Amino acid sequence: MLITAVFFALAATPTFLLLKERATPQPGMDSPWRRLAATMREAHRYSDLRRFLVCILFYQAGITTVIALAAIYAEQAMKFTQQQTITLILVVNITAAAGAFGFGYLQDRIGHVRALALTLVGWIAMVLIAGFSETHFSFWLAANIAGLCMGSAQAAGRAVVGYLAPPARLAEFFGLWGLAVKAASIFGPLTYGAVTWAFAGNHRLGIFATGVYFVIGLALLAGIDVERGRRAALAQ
């Protein structure tokens, strides 16, 4: 826990030292629940943003499941020792950082939706490799693909929300993004757990069920026109 606290401190320090506060406090705010309800009602005016938030709900369900249960899958399905599992997680975190950094440049070159679509294809490939994996080498390959896609998917998702949200209401719509991510972190692992419980602890079926979320996310992403969504955001 102390090592974890140090990582949080190191990661947060540049934000507190270098970033300047640009938001203006707004007195007399409504109840947060009423504001949330109003934001969700108004989201229908931004069809591409609304569709993307639903897309996030699905693919983040897959991502949070992998994050929460990767160690369990490694130990139960692949028979990793605890030391091997810890090493795997440390390496994957480095891979995730590289993915976030590298895909940021790729996204600038090929566009938001294409970069995210490529990431979701990577997640689907990871699920297939992990689900059919019989050796430690192939599972290491799957885990590092997951690391690359994890960092890039998180970065690309936030960038698309920022691009599609009305500039004057960024914090409001990022609140919906946060709500979608938190909701995904509940029903994603629940799905994995329900499948493994129903099929006598079959973790391979659990990981395949997780892959369905990435397929649905990719299908929803295909219908999003970011330039149309950006025009709608700037028109308000």
Topology (CATH) of 54-234: Growth Hormone; Chain: A; (1.20.1250)
Q: How confident is the model at residue 28, as a pLDDT?
A: 59
**Secondary structure (3-state) at 159:** helix
pLDDT digits (tens, 9 = 90+) for 118-141: 999 999 999 999 999 999 999 999
25 CB contacts (<8 Å, ≥6 apart)? none
Angle, CA of 172, 175 and 181, to the nearest 5°: 155
- According to the model, what pLDDT value does residue 143 have? 92
Return the pLDDT at 26.
Answer: 64
Relative orientation angle of helices 112-132 and 203-221, to the nearest 10 degrees: 160
Q: What residues in the chain have per-residue pLDDT under 70?
A: 23-30, 236
Give the pLDDT of residue 129.
95
Please state the length of the chain: 236
Q: What is the pLDDT of residue 216?
A: 96
Nearest to 66 by CA among 154, 168, 200, 185: 185
